[in-house]
Amino acid sequence: MSNSKTAKADIDVLVSEVGPRDGLQSVKRTMPTTAKLDWIAALADAGLREIEVGSFVSPKLLPQMADCADVVAGARPIDGLTVLALVPNLKGAERAFAAGVDKVTMPVSASRAHSKSNINMTPEQAVEQVAAVCRLRAERPDYRHIEVEAGVATAFGCTMEGAVSEDWVMQLAGMLVKAGADSVCLSDTTGYANPAQIKRMFKRLHAEIGDKCGGAHLHNTRGQGLANVVAALDAGVMTFDSSQGGLGGCPYAPGATGNIVTEDLVFLLESMGLRTGIDLDKLIGARSKVLAGLPGETLYGNVADAGLPKGFQYASGGRPA
Ligand code: ZN
């Protein structure tokens, strides 16, 4: 379903690494720029083709992301990598486009309370920002290749509002496509989703917006992360966000910690016969780069702890090149 330039024929599922953004923004300490770039290079070397390298938000709000333009500049030369950054509004997109990103992702919260606290806008105002960013892209020939993704945050429930209307989420997705977004993802920002809900909503999303249907951004807060991945696969989702070592969460949704773990996600997909293009040994090796930049940080993940099973076979039959 992804229309990302990186979703090439040699892979079945695109794994989009969000650790350097979603992960690092929830850690109080700031990883030095050179350490971020070492980590990103190691992830790309392991076969990751899309990495969310940071967030163009106010450095006052998230000092950990203050070097985002430098990180984008440093990641750009990496061959075959889609350099993705989060932008909350037009101002952020102006900075991201000038820095040379390939793609931006814009969070639009379905929950009004979360939207207010996360980006200080109503959902409707956030949709208007997506439209403004798409207009900015159309204005300049050197910006036209940049992909604009919208992510519906708190799509499966909100720590502040509780249940979120599925009809409203679908309506919002339609509004985002109308605003010019290339794809619309659904995010379980709070870790509330269950597999039945995931399957139902992604099927509905596909019926609603067709090939603009984007990926799934899932958290493992209540242990449902990988079960939700399998449910999303059943609904035809082909792009998943995840974070190395499960780093991250959402600082504005209290208690909503823990992206799904990239290492475990890749193992799941490859075991199920779905090619990711990612080398698990190299991926597990990249954990040392997180620890080099953030000494003593806690990393999660079962596959890194247990190791690969004896005789493990990649979906392609051989090791990813
Ligand atoms: Zn997240």
Q: How many A from CA of 180 to the centre of ligand 1?
A: 23
| Region 117-137 average pLDDT | 95
Domain assignments of the chain as residue spans, ordered by start:
8-306
Class of the CATH domain delimited by 8-306: alpha beta
Between the CA of 104 and the centroid of ligand 1 the distance, in Å, is: 15
Residues whose beta carbons lie less than 5 angstroms from ion ligand 1: 22, 259
Catalytic residues, which ones? 250
> For residue 141, how far is its CA from the centre of ligand 1 (angstroms)?
32
For residue 293, give every residue at least 6 positions away whose Cβ sits within 8 Å of its Cβ, in sequence order, or none. Answer: 31, 32, 35, 36, 38, 39
Q: pLDDT tens digits, residue range 238-263? A: 999 999 999 864 445 555 568 999 99
Q: What is the pLDDT of residues 39-86, one digit of tens each?
A: 999 999 999 999 999 999 999 999 999 999 999 999 999 999 999 999
Q: What is the pTM of this model?
A: 0.94
Q: What is the mean pLDDT of residues 218-236?
A: 95
